[in-house]
Amino acid sequence: MARTQVGIIGAGPAGLLLSYLLHAEGVDAVVLESRSRDYVEKRVRAGVCEHPTVELLRDIGVGTRMDAEGLPHHGFSLRFDGEDHRIALSELTGRTITVYGQQEIVKDLIAAHEAKGYPVEFEVSDVELHELDTENPHVTYRDVDGVARQLDCDVIAGCDGFHGVSRPTVPAERVKFFNREYPFAWLGVLARTPPSHEELIYTHHERGFALHSMRSPEITRLYLQVPFDEKIDEWSDDRIWSELSARLATSGEFALREGPILDKGITPMRSFVAEPMQYGRLFLAGDAAHIVPPTGAKGMNLAIADVRVLSRALVELLQHKRSELAQSYSDTCLKRVWRAEHFSWYMTSMLHVDPAADDFQRRLQLSQLRYTAASTAAATSLAENYVGLPFE
């Protein structure tokens, strides 16, 4: 039997960052992760870091590699009617975003934990949470060698994602779920080829949405809207490149660079919020509490915003015996969560082709795109949400 102040379930960006922030303030924490270290360091996820996320990582001393290898972006393109319409993020907001893969942030945080000796246990199994409605919750699990363990805690943080064990542990009558599923999905590919454009391209096309992104000067990340029940084996590499070329085409000079596809998969689209984000001594953060469609690039950034709030609340609770911030954790986070939910829904509905939409709805959609591209006020609203609203 072991003891820590905060047991953290999940070694994604949320769990690792929470652990690092807590240790910096003298609060003990242990991170438990069901996957291997190699898996979590290679798991390809989000790549857009909001301005507040970048500033936070720099402030705590884990932004060195991000600053060296990340790609700052001062704008992105809205592409529709075969034309590019640039949203000038820096000019409109004075801030930028940085393209730097979630797995790279995970690598940086794991390395920082290793350097300071902060505990992270990988490949644990049979994780169960107990006595959450008391002041002495605990976690039982099996370690990498299959040995049964118990971790006694003051607090448990559920940072284990949408399919993790933390949220289902909350009694059904103590949580309310808000859920919306979309009638399409994203087919994402990682290709070994230089990006075809210096900035991200969000494309509305009659055949469906497409996104041109990147992970480095040599690696391109691309997405296609596909039916929600599509099978990945129906998409050969040639078909993927052909469809990307058709949707990203413009009336001007644009050539899509092709290359070997290193990875491909299909991601469903959903909006989801669990309220409240806390139950007793269990606090949910990141995808364990909420999901946004990836169109607005908010998922990882929301998780980081959550644990920034949670770390301060837990320092107050455990170091200073003041519970006000812990009690208001859910209400504080949900203000930002619902803003991000709305923005992500807005971007998704503006750019994707809804198979059930009639001609009236599709003309409204084009009208919104044209207004956003032409109006400084509309473009500024989009830009300030995209680069990330300031932390409270």
Mean pLDDT across the chain: 96
Rounded to 10 deg, the angle between the 299-320 and 51-59 helix axes is 40
Residues 335-364 have pLDDT tens digits of: 999 999 999 999 999 999 999 999 999 999
pLDDT on residue 309: 98
Is residue 44 over pLDDT 90?
Answer: no
**279 carries an active-site annotation:** no
Q: What is the pLDDT of residue 392?
A: 79
**Per-residue pLDDT band at 114 (split at 50, 70, 90):** very high
**Domains, the chain, ordered by start:** 2-73+99-178+270-346 (3.50.50.60), 182-269+354-387 (3.30.9.10)
Could you tell me which residues come within 8 angstroms of residue 338 by beta carbon, excluding any fewer than 6 positions away?
273
- Supply the DSSP string of 294-322, one letter for each residue: GGG--HHHHHHHHHHHHHHHHHHHHHH--
Is 329 designated active site?
no
Q: Which of 197, 204, 298, 352 is catalytic?
A: 298
For 244-288, what is each residue's pLDDT tens digit? 999 999 988 899 999 999 999 999 999 999 999 999 999 999 999
pLDDT band at 47 (very low <50, low <70, confident <90, very high): confident
218-222, Cβ contacts within 8 angstroms, sequence gap of 24 or more: 218/192, 218/193, 218/194, 219/190, 219/191, 219/192, 219/193, 219/262, 220/190, 220/191, 220/193, 220/194, 220/195, 220/196, 220/257, 220/259, 221/47, 221/188, 221/189, 221/190, 221/191, 222/188, 222/189, 222/191
100 is catalytic: no
Active-site hit among 73, 113, 138, 352:
73
Q: Is 223 in the active site? A: no
Per-residue pLDDT tens digits for 169-183: 999 999 999 999 999
User: Of 182, 202, 279, 329, which is the active-site residue?
Assistant: 202
Give the Cα separation of 46 and 52 in Å (integer): 16
The catalytic position among 13, 52, 293, 294 is: 294
pLDDT for the residue 4: 98
